[in-house]
Amino acid sequence: MRVDGINYELDWQEFTVGSSFFIACVGVTAAKERIERKMARLGFAVIVKVVVEDGIRGLRVWRKKR
């Protein structure tokens, strides 16, 4: 998955219900839309929120049950 010009390699088999990942990004609106489209293609229900972690702005994506 490519966000803000950076390729992220994620192991989708490990992205189980209740787990999450963080992606640092500046353009959070465009990145959120891109992530939501990718998750829909994969059939994953997710919550995506803008967060600041360790002083870095980005998105946290949690997988949830459908």
Per-residue pLDDT of the chain (66 residues; tens, 9 = 90+): 888 888 889 999 899 999 999 999 989 999 999 999 999 999 999 999 999 999 999 999 999 998
Q: Give the burial string for 24-40 (b: 16+ CB within 10 Å, else e).
A: ebeebeebbebbeebbe
- Look at residue 4 in the predicted model and tell me its pLDDT: 81
- Look at residue 46 in the predicted model and tell me its pLDDT: 97
**Predicted structure pTM score:** 0.88
- Name the CA radius of gyration of the chain, rounded: 11
- Look at residue 5 in the predicted model and tell me its pLDDT: 84
